[in-house]
């Protein structure tokens, strides 16, 4: 099975459409959305409707911290994120908000675990940023291979023989074997708000039979997405960071 993994869409319709078009061109058997459909961007309703339609066709979709904050506590988010969510709440229907509320925190597929932030505390929204947090995530996961988002930059760790998590540089566009029986953690990157100094939308495809992951970047019309953010009256830096990939 070729599993296309998309995370942190953040209401970026242009980025989402570009990634889905690229995934269709490359071919996949199933889609998985790893959370944060909303937040930051100007197209929350369109992003939800796209994901909801794919879920109707068998896709997996998980809850992210911005999704949870639409009808929950947003006090752990920064001022800019709260401003974007306040506007997005006015753009969503009751059905769209209910769709977000009902999303699960985790999903399992064969020897794969998927979660938005970390397997060691799915609702704690901890970031996997270093070897220690990666090790905690891998050890808490039920799967041999764990996929998450939340960080907005692709990353890859292996649980080494000495029991510690060791980083591996994600190779963009090249298949990387996640060899068995070793345990792995892949942070997918962000569709709608990359933060690794590349404005291109990010996603990944995992081949479950070959146990190979390919991190991908897709150029898209980020200027159009930025213009929509400004037209909606959202904070200007949300538009600028799309252009700068940070």
Strands (DSSP E) contained in the chain are: 2-6, 30-33, 60-61, 106-109, 112-115, 145-148, 155-159, 165-168, 175-177, 184-187, 201-207, 212-218
Q: Tokens 């061109």, residue? A: 25
Token pair, residue 195, equals 């933060």
Q: Are 15 and 192 in contact (CB under 8 A)?
A: yes
> pTM of this prediction?
0.97
Close Cβ partners of 78 (under 8 Å, ≥ 6 residues apart): none
Residue 29: Cβ within 10 Å count:
12
Each residue's pLDDT expressed in tens, for the chain with a length of 246 residues: 999 999 999 999 999 999 999 999 999 999 999 999 999 999 999 999 999 999 999 999 999 999 999 999 999 999 999 999 999 999 999 999 999 999 999 999 999 999 999 999 999 999 999 999 999 999 999 999 999 999 999 999 999 999 999 999 999 999 999 999 999 999 999 999 999 999 999 999 999 999 999 999 999 999 999 999 999 999 999 999 999 998
SS3 102: coil
């Amino acid at each position: 099975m070729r599993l296309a993994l998309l995370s942190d869409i953040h209401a970026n319709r242009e980025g989402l459409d570009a990634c889905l078009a690229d995934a269709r061109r490359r071919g996949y058997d199933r889609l998985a959305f790893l959370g944060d459909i909303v937040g930051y961007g100007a197209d929350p309703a369109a992003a939800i409707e796209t994901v909801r339609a794919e879920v109707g066709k068998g896709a997996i979709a998980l809850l992210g911290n911005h999704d949870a904050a639409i009808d929950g506590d947003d006090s752990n988010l920064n001022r800019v994120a709260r401003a974007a969510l306040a506007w997005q709440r006015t753009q969503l229907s009751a059905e769209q908000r209910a769709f977000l509320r009902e999303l699960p925190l985790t999903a399992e597929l064969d020897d794969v675990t998927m979660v938005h932030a970390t397997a060691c505390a799915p609702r704690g929204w901890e970031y996997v940023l270093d070897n220690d947090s990666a090790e905690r995530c891998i050890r808490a996961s039920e799967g041999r291979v764990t996929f998450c988002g939340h960080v907005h930059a692709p990353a890859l760790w292996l649980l080494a023989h000495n029991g510690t998590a060791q980083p591996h540089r994600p190779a963009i566009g090249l298949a990387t074997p996640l060899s068995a029986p070793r345990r792995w953690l892949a942070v997918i990157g962000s569709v709608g708000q990359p933060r690794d100094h590349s404005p291109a939308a990010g996603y990944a495809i995992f081949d479950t039979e070959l146990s190979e992951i390919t991190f991908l970047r897709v150029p898209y019309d980020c200027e159009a997405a930025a213009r929509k953010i400004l037209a909606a009256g959202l904070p200007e830096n949300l538009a600028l960071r799309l252009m700068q990939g940070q």
